Amino acid sequence: MNDLHSFSWYAARIKKHMPIEAFKPVPRRLLGGLTYLVITISCFFVIGLVELHPLINLGISIIIGCSFAGLGFLGHEILHGTVVRKSWLRDLLGAIAFWPLSTGPQLWRKWHNLNHHVHTQHDENDPDAWPTLERISKLKVFRWIYNLPLPIRAFFAFASLAVQFTAHSLKMFTVYVKEFKPRKQPEVWLQTILPWMTWIGLIFLIGFTKWLFAFLIPLLIANFIVMAYISTNHRLNPLTPVNDPLANSLTVTVPKWVDTIHFNFSYHTEHHLFPGMNPKYYPIVKQHIKTMWPERYHEMPMTQALIALWQTPRVYFEHNELIDPMNKNAYGSLGNKLDPKAILPRKLTDK
């Protein structure tokens, strides 16, 4: 854990090797979002106007869910300023892209840009970091959960990926809304309430059964897709006192076509080095990282990361250990004895 460097330390060393275009906003990336929007609205019309077999409706739900997730990835990028620079346009486009996930642009920028990116994997200040043993021992309500066997916890944890983004987003709203200046707060409230009003209003327009296929099932699918990435971004890595993306982030690999439809969201370590860069250039950043610091970089296929996530507990001990509070089995973390290909717990005393 010694020898950690901040993201700007790495960025300064790579930036000089990057073309200047990598840092320019690219409005052309909105075309992908427009495609997702057209697909989503067309699917709404089909579900709303045509009586179809439930299985066909379910197929359409999957298409809408994938589009919701794709729009979410683009929203993340827009709100980092990689698409347009004008702040009102950035927030408007970000609000549209995050509409299905009902996350307002002001809230997202505070939660994600100003806290998650600045304090990544800090045990107290990163709103997305998982708790330490010390912290959960104070939360009596949750203690019984950690007394369940790990495979059962893993099953429920994976099932909850289908709601985790929405649930966490609502929690973030309650955490951060108070931190906005009083005159800003109504806007932040509105940006959360308006999307929910439209989705609830849709029930009255098309009826409850069709609404399940048009919104609720797609929302669960979108949650699962975005959380499959978000849960593997940092949760196998240690907590770090210095925000070092090579130590505290993981880049997953997915087939090329998946990277295309998800706007290169898999390159998460690269994203933490350069959040404002056009993600099209992340493969070049990756090459530079692998040349300069190959022993520090963490990368693995998405499926392997998800399997490793299933096999390890989500509680930290002394920053570097993932520990099962039930039996005190320790698993290490990436860069700290955790081998994702052969996960073997040890007793803490064996350290």
Q: Which residues of 123-132 are buried (b: 16+ CB within 10 A; e: fewer)?
A: beebbbbbbb
CB of 126 to Zn ion, least distance (A): 9
Q: Which stretch binds Zn ion (CB under 5 A): 45-53, 57-65, 225-233, 313-321?
A: 225-233
Residue 67 CB, nearest distance to Zn ion (Å)? Answer: 20
* 3-class secondary structure, 347: strand
Q: Which residue has the tokens 């997730």?
A: 69
Return the number of the residue (250 or 330) whose C-beta is nearest Zn ion: 250
Q: What is the bridge-based pairing of β-strands 316-317 and 299-301?
A: unpaired
- The residues facing 334 across adjacent strands are none
Q: Please say which residue, 77 or 321, places its beta carbon nearer to Zn ion.
A: 77
Distance CA 58, CA 217 (A): 8
Inter-residue contact 54 to 73 (CB < 8 Å)? no
Q: Which residues are 251's β-sheet partners? A: 299
User: What is the closest distance, in whole angstroms, from the C-beta atom of residue 73 to Zn ion in the complex?
Assistant: 10
* Nearest to Zn ion of 100, 279 (CB atom): 279
Which residue's CB is nearer to Zn ion, number 233 or number 278? 233
Compute the least distance from the CB of residue 267 to Zn ion, in Å: 11
Q: Are 309 and 235 in contact (CB under 8 A)?
A: yes
The helix/strand count (H/E) of the chain reads as 17, 6
Over the window 87 to 126, marking each residue x when it contacts Zn ion by CB under 5 A and - when it does not, the resulting string is ----------------------------------------
Query: Nearer to Zn ion by C-beta: 153 or 234?
Result: 234
Residue of 277, 252, 273, 271 whose CA lies nearest to 5: 273
Q: Is the dihedral of CA 54, 103, 35, 205 positive or negative?
A: positive
Q: Determine contact, residues 210/47, Cβ cutoff 8 Å.
A: yes
Task: Select 132 or 251, whichever has its Cβ closest to Zn ion.
Answer: 251
Stretch that binds Zn ion, among 136-144, 150-158, 226-234, 286-294 (CB under 5 A): 226-234
Cβ proximity to Zn ion, 108 vs 224, nearer residue? 108
Q: Which of the ranges 20-28, 46-54, 82-90, 232-240 carries the binding residues for Zn ion, by CB under 5 A?
A: 232-240
Of 55-63, 193-201, 207-215, 233-241, which segment contacts Zn ion by CB under 5 A?
A: 233-241
- Residue nearest Zn ion, CB atom distance: 233
Site for Zn ion in 176-205 (CB under 5 A): none
- Residue numbers of the site for Zn ion (CB under 5 A)? 233
